[in-house]
Amino acid sequence: MATLVFDIETTALKLDAFDEAQQEYLFREAEKLEDPVAREARRAELARGMSLWPPTSQVVCIAMLNAETQRGQTLFLAEDFEEGDEGAGPVQFVPFADEGELLAAFWEVARHYDHIVTFNGRGFDVPFIYLRSAILNVSISRKNWLGYRYATEPHCDLAEQLTFYNVSGRDGAARKFNLDFYCKTFGIESPKSHGVTGMDVATLMEEGRFRDIAEYCLRDVRATLQLYQIWKERLSGIK
């Protein structure tokens, strides 16, 4: 069974993409605060959160690897690039000028895989790309990735597996940690070890450092694949 490991990066759309009523709705909670300092702080917090919501943000990168061959592609948005920038090697870096084209290319790859592995993909990556694809009218080749939660096929979400489906809640023995923490715990090189985190993506986009985003996203996927291999060997019972 072919297995695809993937991760996405997102950034908020510019505020001028939304009309006055939408902007009022987005910041309504902040405007209720009387203290101007608290109001501005809450507005800033809500603006940062916009990168996590499909109606207010976009996919800027999807990195993916075949779990068996460790070959793959990293698809990313870039304003300036030349055809043939993909490069050689086991992972191709493929730039796009348009989010819809990027998503269409992803779904073309995804249709060849029966099984996917993510870290928190059930809670974020999969619903995000489903909704962004629907918004942009991009055909979705795999619509079963949010099926029965208590199964690892077709979707193995390591964030759920390592918490045993949140069996002990926020503070119990199986509480959820982020990917960086799990990597360090299991002796895997953290994706953040090169000085870039998901919090930097918006800034990197503004600076035109599109390839840096793509390479960070790929490091996330490589770490997820190593964590999956450890989970499969030591915890899953899969032979």
Q: What is the pLDDT of residue 192?
A: 85
Please state the separation of Cα 51 from the chain's center in Å: 11
CA 94 vs CA 13, 66, 67, 75, 209: distances in Å? 22, 16, 19, 5, 14
Question: The CATH number of the domain where 170 resides is what?
Answer: 3.30.420.10
Residue 181 inside a domain? The answer is yes
* Helix, strand or coil, per DSSP, at residue 208: coil
Q: What is the pLDDT of residue 170?
A: 83
Residue 218 inside a domain? The answer is yes
The radius of gyration computed from the CA coordinates of the chain, to the nearest angstrom, equals 19
Q: What is the pLDDT of residue 235?
A: 94
Number of domains in the chain: 1
Q: What angle do CA 212, 134, 141 make, to 5 degrees?
A: 80
CA 51 to CA 190: how far, in whole Å? 23
Residue 217 inside a domain? The answer is yes
* Helix, strand or coil, per DSSP, at residue 17: helix
CA 51 to CA 59: how far, in whole Å? 9
24 Cβ contact partners less than 8 Å away, ≥ 6 residues apart? 31
* Structural domain that includes position 31: 3-234
Residue 77 inside a domain? The answer is yes
Residue 239 inside a domain? The answer is no
User: pTM, whole model, 2 decimals?
Assistant: 0.93
Residue 213 inside a domain? The answer is yes
Cβ neighbours of 226 (radius 10 Å): 16
Q: What is the pLDDT of residue 89?
A: 81
* Helix, strand or coil, per DSSP, at residue 60: strand
Residue 30 inside a domain? The answer is yes
174 Cβ contact partners less than 8 Å away, ≥ 6 residues apart? 162, 163, 164, 166, 167, 168
**Per-block average pLDDT, block size 10, for the chain (239 residues)?**
94 95 95 93 93 96 97 94 65 96 98 97 97 98 94 95 91 92 96 82 93 96 97 84
Residue 203 inside a domain? The answer is yes
2 Cβ contact partners less than 8 Å away, ≥ 6 residues apart? 66, 68, 112, 113, 114, 115
Q: What is the DSSP letter of 64?
A: E
Burial of 208 from C-beta contacts in 10 A (0-12 / 13-18 / 19+): exposed
